[in-house]
Amino acid sequence: MTAKRVYLSTTIPYVNSHAHIGHALELVQADVLARHHRRIGDDVRLQSGTDDNSLKNVLAAAEEGISTRELVQRNADAFASLREHLSLSFDDFIRTSSDPRHRPGVERLWRACEASGDLYRKGYEGLYCVGCEQFYTESELVEGNCPEHGVPPQPIAEENWFFRLSKYASQLRDEIVSGRLRIEPASRRNEVLGFIDGGLEDFSVSRSVARARGWGIGVPGDPTQVIYVWWDALGNYITSLGYGTGSQDYQRWWTEADQRVHLVGKGVLRFHAVYWPAILLSAGEPLPTKIFVHDYLTVDGRKIGKSTGSGAGNDPVELTGTYGVDAVRWWLLRDVPRVGDADFTVDRLIGRANEDLANGLGNLVNRVVSLVHSSRDGVIRAARPAGTSRWLAAAAGSSQSGSAAGQDWPDDAVGLLAAIERAPAAVSTALADFDFRAATGAIFEIVEQANRYVDATQPWHLARAERAGDAAAGARLDAVLGALVAACQILAAQIWPFAPDLAARVAAACSDSAGVLPEPRPVFPRIEPRKYPATAKEAEVIAC
């Protein structure tokens, strides 16, 4: 398989408030894809960032009585810090108000569309939701309210710049139908096609300087207008690559990349699957190759909004601080379906972590390492089972393919061996389909099979028989322990893209590079069911 060049991006959130668990979902999904591609030897760039130029930031700052720049700086820092809290591996983080690469790129994109004759001025009246930074038609409203925010949009009348979206309808349709622009899941692709077939109208791509309160990027050559924040924000996917500053990165990661993949939430589908590709077509630049659309998380059955904002038990920083990054990542990957909303609760997070990570994987590693210590003083006597080093090399993305040689697996380890053999391809297929649940499920098969194998072979009985003089039991014990340690090492390698911190602990617990395994120490201690309310903040939320 030849290495591919893969550019992955998350959306860039508004920084008018703090991060919530929904942001964590997209970041973690993107991180898993990046780590997976890296380990199979692909050349990967993962990008995230913040959308600083939104009018919402201006309004939030005014509400707090601080400058917009101050608010944006503070909140963008908090988003950037998720890298540590969630163990993310992004290579680049763009802040659209301060990154020197951004403005020249947005301006170049504007000029390119202008040169194609796709920008024109026109008077306009419409209903605008500041929350969405978007105009709505009457028919799109739900009982007169914005479908996303449930508040009435404001009537706005002004002269703006417009983009000739209508001109690109058939070209766009062609890109999507041909699969050159793949939108997943298929239901979202159909939604986009339906939207295109319903007729594309040109859309307003600037605001008056007064309405934008002077915040944002000015329209080149028109001092009265500021570029629409969505145009500005969507541009981040290429401005960060130096589209406007002449960097080689643009060629490397956009025009010549094998895959240009955007991860987006369902609420911003139209912007990413219609507006953005049309702007790129107008500018004469390549389109993304894939757009993966995830649904939303609710928290305790409620939509994430002001009432369930951070501080109500869904702040990723608080959650990782209390329950650890592995538990949070694992819940997001293992419990959130590919299609459909999922409900987050702390009890579900704890339940999943205890079942899978403490009782499943943690218990397996602990039992195996303890057995090697109690019966063999920490020394693994058996030669590595066949294929182990090859699987480890493959899972670690090593350029050496690893040897398939080794001792035969014990005859009764067929189920375990089958799960190990199946996992790499199953994970690859699932991730190519953005199915994180199926991917983690394939890995978890190994855990279940290995625990079953411990129960079936009862190594402690073999050790007792050996002590009573049964040499054959001793030889069998060596083979069983050898197979189990190999399974744990393979698990550590397989689980790395999903829960890198936990993977490192499992790998360390099962490493005999010093000749003996380290003393057994829990790799994932059970989380005690919490007392509710656990924090003063939660008590406050309940009280009101």
Catalytic residues, by residue number, are: 20, 23, 129, 132, 146, 149, 303, 306
**186 Cβ neighbours under 8 A, 6+ residues apart:** none
> Nearer to Zn ion by C-beta: 129 or 361?
129
Half-sphere exposure of 6 (CA within 13 A, CB side): 24
Between residue 133 and residue 162, which ones bind Zn ion under the rule CB under 5 A? 146, 148-149
Buried residues in 129-157 as b, exposed as e (16+ CB within 10 A): bbbbbbbbeeeeeeeeebebeeeebeebe
Could you tell me the CA-to-CA distances from 40 to 394, 490, 501 in Å, in that order?
7, 15, 19
Pick between residue 142 and residue 186 the one whose CB is nearest to Zn ion. Answer: 142
Q: How far is CA 160 from the centre of its chain?
A: 36
Comparing CB distances to Zn ion, the nearer of 131 and 316 is: 131
Closer Cβ to Zn ion, 117 or 150, answer by number: 150
Rg of the Cα atoms in the chain: 27
- What are the beta bridge partners of residue 135? 128
Judged by beta carbon, residue 20 or residue 85, the one nearer Zn ion is 20
Task: Determine if the peptide bond prior to 152 is cis (ω within 30°).
Answer: no
Which distant-in-sequence residues (6+ apart) come within 8 Å of 259 by Cβ?
A: 4, 5, 6, 7, 8, 289, 290
Q: Would you say 497 and 399 are in contact if contact means Cβ atoms under 8 Å apart? A: no
**How far apart, in whole angstroms, are the C-alpha atoms of residue 390 and residue 407?**
13
Reading the block at residue 533, the tokens are 């309310």
* Residue 78-117 contact track with Zn ion, rule CB under 5 A, x = bound: ----------------------------------------
Site string for Zn ion, 340-379 (x = CB under 5 A): ----------------------------------------
Q: Can you tell me the distance from the alpha carbon of 538 to that of 468, in angstroms, rounded to the nearest whole number?
A: 58
Three-class DSSP labels, 262-314: EEEEHHHHHHHHHHHHHHHHHHCCCCCCEEEEECCEEECCEECCCCCCCCCCC
- Of the two residues 149 and 266, which places its CB atom closer to Zn ion in the complex? 149
Q: Mark residues 272-291: x for contact with Zn ion by CB under 5 A, - for none.
A: --------------------
The residues, any chain, with a CB within 8 Å of residue 191's CB and separated by 6 or more, are: 269
Least distance (Å) between residue 169 CB and Zn ion: 25
The rounded distance, in Å, linking the Cα atoms of 120 and 163 is: 7
Pick 74 or 211: Cβ nearer Zn ion: 211
Token pair in block for residue 179: 């699969």
Q: Minimum CB separation from Zn ion for residue 153, in Å?
A: 7
Beta-ladder partners of 45:
7
Least Å from the CB of residue 535 to Zn ion: 31
Site residues for Zn ion, 5-24, by CB under 5 A, read none
* 129 vs 325 by CB, closer to Zn ion: 129
Residue 140 beta carbon to Zn ion: minimum distance, rounded to whole angstroms: 10
Binding mask 23-62 for Zn ion (x = CB under 5 A): ----------------------------------------
CB of 132 vs Zn ion, minimal distance in Å: 3
Q: What's the rounded Cα separation, in Å, for the pair 299 and 303?
A: 6
- Going by C-alpha positions, the residue among 363, 368, 391, 366 that lies closest to residue 480 is 368
Using the minimum distance from each CB to Zn ion, give the nearer residue, 267 or 311.
Answer: 267
Taking the least distance from each CB to Zn ion, the nearer of 129 and 372 is 129
Query: 345: helix, coil or strand?
Result: coil
Per CB under 5 A, contacts with Zn ion among 113-132 are 129, 131-132
CB of 164 to Zn ion, least distance (A): 25
Q: How many residues bind Zn ion (CB under 5 A)?
A: 6
Task: Report, in Å, the least distance between residue 156 CB and Zn ion.
Answer: 14
Distance CA 259, CA 181 (A): 10
Most distant CA atoms of the chain, gap in Å: 95
Amino acid at 363: N
* Nearest partner of 316 among 344, 353, 357, 358, judged by Cα: 344
Element (H, E) at 44: strand 43-50
- What residues form DSSP beta bridges with 163? 119, 203
Neighbours of 405 (CB within 10 A): 12
Other residues' Cβ atoms within 10 Å of the Cβ of residue 462: 23
Q: Binders of Zn ion among 372-411, rule CB under 5 A?
A: none
- 59 vs 65: CA distance, rounded Å: 10
Backbone angles phi, psi at 159, to 5 degrees: -95, 130
> Does 202 interact with Zn ion (rule: CB under 5 A)?
no
- List interacting residues with Zn ion (CB under 5 A): 129, 131-132, 146, 148-149
